[in-house]
Amino acid sequence: MDFEVRKLEGKIGAEIIGLDLDGELDASTIKSLNDVWLEFAILLFRGIGTSNERHLRLSSCFGELEVHPIESLRMKGFPEIIYLAQKKGDRDQMTFYFDGDPIVGRIPFHTDMIYTPTPNRGSLLRMVEKPTVGGETAWIDTAAAYDALDDEVKTRIANLEARYLFVTNLEEMRFGKEGKIELGNYGSVEYPVFPDVAQPLVWTHPESGRKSLCLSTVQLIDMVGMPREEGDPILASLVEHTLSGRFTYQHDWEVGDMMLWDNWRTMHTARGTPPGYDRVVHRTTMKGAHQTGRLL
């Protein structure tokens, strides 16, 4: 292999060391990278994301890239790159109070596009402008969380589904709030309407066959076909288990770091920053043709 693999702290995810992104990557290196991605789900490439070209070169090793449906998010000249920025002085940012403190850009644990039947395959995020305070991102390996469940719980949840909705106002979250959330400024972005979606609580990865817990907390509403007084305690207990910290890796970014995640086996959270800090990240998205859920 043309690179080394080192487990990240907490044994969740791995760092890829010594990968040369200056030339074309050959087929055997690309195959090895995909094998490691499948094994660890979360990969760190430290410091080598120094240009859009390098970002795209690495992204394209992991599948066909998706162009974001919202045109304003696309970077000029690089339609496969999403530009995500928070800038000090921007009064239009969505802001929430978390336990009384105003935070910009925080998104609690979620799986991307969970509110559709076909969530995307994964993403590669690159730190372009690092804030001097905060701005970390954390991931949970939801296969590790599933593996750690008692056999009795695994049997009980094997065929259950949960209902998901597209949620932007975090006050409406029902699970996994990790504190008190109050709306500060909602911002002015208008979002499309998405119908309710049912997702199995247990996903089987189409490539590895590994099982994982699907619990995207931002959009998790309730259990399908079960009264809330019965379903809520099950969901709350699974969320508490998954968010316990035992299956989490949190990354304190440096400029040029890139993190790759398998969206079919992880949740992630943006921790955000206090108001008044600049943060810019670029993201690419790998398409996913695998259907996990169904429209309700």
Where do contacts with Fe ion occur on this chain (CB under 5 A)?
112
Element at 235 (helix H, strand E): helix 228-242
CB 181 within 8 A of CB 272: no
Nearest approach in angstroms of CB 156 to Fe ion is 29
- Return the number of the residue (49 or 122) whose C-beta is nearest Fe ion: 122
Whole-angstrom Cα distance, residue 264 to residue 211?
Answer: 10
- Return the number of the residue (15 or 112) whose C-beta is nearest Fe ion: 112
Q: Which two tokens stand for residue 153?
A: 């719980």
Whole-angstrom Cα distance, residue 116 to residue 268?
Answer: 17
- Return the number of the residue (112 or 161) whose C-beta is nearest Fe ion: 112
Nearest approach in angstroms of CB 192 to Fe ion is 17
The gap from C-alpha 29 to its chain's centroid, in whole angstroms, comes to 25
Q: Which two tokens stand for residue 277?
A: 């800090």
Nearest approach in angstroms of CB 218 to Fe ion is 9
Nearest approach in angstroms of CB 194 to Fe ion is 15
The CA-atom distances, in angstroms, between 232 and each of 191, 223, 238, 290 are 28, 7, 10, 28
Whole-angstrom Cα distance, residue 29 to residue 175?
Answer: 41
Nearest approach in angstroms of CB 263 to Fe ion is 8
What is the biggest distance separating any 2 CA atoms in the chain, rounded to whole angstroms?
A: 57
- Return the number of the residue (67 or 153) whose C-beta is nearest Fe ion: 67
First to last CA, the chain: 46
185: which strand partners? Answer: 95
Whole-angstrom Cα distance, residue 248 to residue 140?
Answer: 4
- Return the number of the residue (32 or 292) whose C-beta is nearest Fe ion: 292
Q: Which two tokens stand for residue 133?
A: 């305070």
Residue of minimal Cβ distance to Fe ion? 112
- Return the number of the residue (138 or 235) whose C-beta is nearest Fe ion: 138
Nearest approach in angstroms of CB 110 to Fe ion is 6
Whole-angstrom Cα distance, residue 173 to residue 90?
Answer: 25
- Return the number of the residue (112 or 262) whose C-beta is nearest Fe ion: 112
Nearest approach in angstroms of CB 203 to Fe ion is 17
